[in-house]
Structure 1
Amino acid sequence: MREIQDKPKGIFFDVDDTLYDHLEPLRQALRKVLSTGEDFPYEAVYHRFRFYSDALSARHGGVNAAGADQDLQEMRVQRVMLALAEFGVQVTETEAARIQEIYLEGQFQISHFPGAVELIRTLQTAGHVVGLITNGPAEHQMAKIKALAMDRIINPGSIFISGAVGYDKPDPRLFMHVNEITGTEASRSFYIGDSWRNDVVGALESGWTAIWFNHRQVKPESDHQPHYHAVNYQELANILLT
């Protein structure tokens, strides 16, 4: 038991819609292609967009599956079409592809949620191992991490991208790999993320402490019970700094 307690505490963050507002690039893409107005249900569409993104990716086997490169664009177009269809908006594949294109471009014009950098620096000063765990192609996700300047704040050895590691969240092997590389212990590791399936379920099934960053106030998708809930970085600070 002493050996476990001597290990550093690991505190890892998701990237998309956890470090920054992932909805904003989608909002701008929909406005440019479909001329949607202020009263369009952007947040509800975004939630279903993420749902289909996770579901389609899981059905395929994740970004690391054989043939993922050629199927990735098709999955991205399908998630746009399926999400919008739920709100009575029918788009062609060409329109969906254009929405996806603008959406991707917008992901590099991003800024942190208020308090994110301050909390990470405070946790580092307190001696914790602080890092990132994110799903996606390695080059694409690293470009977003650099756009947020997180590569200058977080030790590169504590940044884990599924496309580089070989496992996607919620696969417990990804979380196990993080523990092995960082010298942390599952029982002393925390994961903060917005995705129910990838972040909450993934952390819980890996023996980690799960903090659901539910800033969009959506409903749980299963009977899993996260250890904590937070809707902003002040609440995250209250959990992690006590």
Structure 2
Amino acid sequence: MKTIIFDVDDTLYDQAQSFHDTFKALIDDTYSYDEIDRIYRTSREYSEDLFDQSEKGEISVLDWQTGRISKALFDYGIEIDDKKALAFHERYKEAQANITLFPEVKRLLEQLSQKPVRLAVLTNGEEKHQRMKITQLDLTRWIPNDHIFISGAYGVAKPHPDIFKHVEEAIDARSEACVYVGDSFEKDIIGAKQVGWQAVWMNHRKRQPDTESLYQADKEVKSAEGLADTLLTDYTI
């Protein structure tokens, strides 16, 4: 039986929308979509780097959450103090309470749940916050709660191989039958490939791959529609 395991943030839903709404409310509502999106993509790059530092205990979780904002804004000539960075983070977190699945992903999950496919979730982040998103997205409608894994509950995060192997063992899956779907090349694609899983890169942000990496995605898709087509065509009966 195939096992399809999903990342959550910016894979199953558009994480940028919460950022855009927060930026317009707290920073400047005259920026264009493309201008805010560039800042958002920069904040995601900082987020991945600072998350790694927080996991190692080098900085606090709060420093990660506020630093990704202040550093990204600074790169575009916008300086904010710690108080405003915290306010941005809190508003951003509140906005994520209103997230919704990509419509194509919702239909995909409905279809996959009718097929002989095992479904699971593996996401990085603080357990309570990620659980809130999972509840808002209603993922347990299709995915059993004991097939949902949040790195904050285990003390190890993607791309470390231990978290992937833990998932594999917990759901009694075989490495060669596991397919991981995620938006981060470093965290998701490299992480999955290093333990022998297949990997589908949900690259709707059109990022450049690390061509020097020993690992590459088995499939790359550029949209939720493309993701649905690929999983239903290439990874299910």
Q: Same fold per TM (> 0.5)? A: yes
Residue of 97, 104, 109 corresponding to 1:108: 97
2:27 aligned partner: 34
2:105, 2:228 within 8 Å by CA — same for their partners in 1?
no
Tell me the equivalent position of 2:48: 54
User: How far does residue 152 in structure 1 lie from its aligned partner after superposition?
Assistant: 2.5
Aligned to 1:239: 230
Residue 88 of structure 2 aligns with which residue?
99
Out of 70, 73, 96, the residue aligned to residue 81 of structure 1 is: 70
Distance apart, 1:106 and its partner CA:
0.5
- Tell me which moved more, 167-176 or 120-129: 120-129
Q: Under a length normalisation based on structure 1, what TM-score does the superposition of the two structures give?
A: 0.89
Which secondary structure does the structure 2 equivalent of 1:15 belong to?
A: coil
- CA-based RMSD: 1.7
Whether the aligned pair in 2 keeps the contact of 1:137 and 1:163 (CA below 8 Å) is: yes
Separation in 2, partners of 1:121, 1:156:
17
> Is 1:171 matched up with 2:164?
no
Shift of 1:222: 5.0
Structure 1 stretches lacking a partner, 5+ long: 1-7
Q: How many residues align?
A: 230
Q: Which moved more, 1:186-195 or 1:84-93?
A: 84-93
CA contact (8 A) 2:113 2:142 kept: no
Residue by residue, what CA displacement relative to the aligned partner does 1:150-198 show, whole Å, maximum 9, x if unpaired? 1222111111111113320111111111110111111111111111221
Determine the structure 2 residue equivalent to 1:4. Answer: none
Q: 1:202 is matched by which residue type in structure 2?
A: G
The letter of the residue matching 1:93 is D
Name the structure 1 match of 2:170. 181
TM-score (norm 2): 0.91
The aligned runs of 1:122-141 (5 Å cut-off) are 122-141=111-130
Segment of structure 1 superposing worse, 30-39 or 101-110:
30-39
CA contact (8 A) 2:176 2:198 kept: yes
The AA in structure 1 aligned to 2:209 is P
Name the residue aligned to 1:227.
218
User: How far did residue 38 of structure 1 move?
Assistant: 4.1
Paired-residue identity, %: 33
* Segment drifting more, 119-128 vs 220-229: 220-229
